Amino acid sequence: MRILLAEDDTSLAQVVAAGLRDEAYAVDVTGDGAEALTQALVNEYDAIVLDIGLPRTDGLEVCRTLRARGVRVPILMLTARDAVRDRVTGLDAGADDYLVKPFDFEELLARLRALVRRAPALLPAVVTVGDLAIDTRAQTVTRAGMPIRLTTKEYVVLEYLARNADRVVTRGDIVAHAWDDNHDPFTNAVEVYVNRLRKKLEGEGRAPLLPTRRGAGYVL
CATH of the domain at 97: 3.40.50.2300
Please tell me the predicted confidence (pLDDT) of residue 123. Answer: 60
- Please check whether residues 91 and 130 belong to one and the same domain: no
Please tell me the predicted confidence (pLDDT) of residue 76. Answer: 95
Please tell me the predicted confidence (pLDDT) of residue 120. Answer: 54
Element (H, E) at 108: helix 105-118
- Please check whether residues 111 and 209 belong to one and the same domain: no
- Please check whether residues 52 and 7 belong to one and the same domain: yes
End position of a domain, from candidates 118, 146, 178: 118
Radius of gyration (Cα) for the chain, nearest Å? 18
- Please check whether residues 8 and 100 belong to one and the same domain: yes
- Please check whether residues 169 and 201 belong to one and the same domain: yes
Closest CA to 61 of 99, 30, 32, 100: 32
Please tell me the predicted confidence (pLDDT) of residue 19. Answer: 93
- Please check whether residues 41 and 113 belong to one and the same domain: yes
Q: What DSSP assignment string belongs to 18-84?
A: HHHHHTT-EEEEES-HHHHHHHHHHS--SEEEEESS-SSS-HHHHHHHHHHTT----EEEEES---H
User: Does the model's pTM come out above 0.85?
Assistant: no
- Please check whether residues 78 and 110 belong to one and the same domain: yes
**What is the C-alpha to C-alpha distance for residues 181 and 183, in angstroms, rounded to an integer?**
5
pLDDT tens string for the chain (220 positions)? Answer: 889 999 999 999 999 999 999 888 889 999 999 999 999 998 889 899 999 989 999 999 999 999 998 888 999 999 887 767 777 888 888 899 989 888 999 999 999 988 887 765 546 778 889 899 998 878 899 998 899 999 988 998 998 899 888 889 998 888 888 887 777 777 888 899 999 999 999 877 778 888 888 888 999 9
- Please check whether residues 96 and 147 belong to one and the same domain: no
Domain of residue 71: give its range: 2-118
Q: How many domains does the chain have?
A: 2
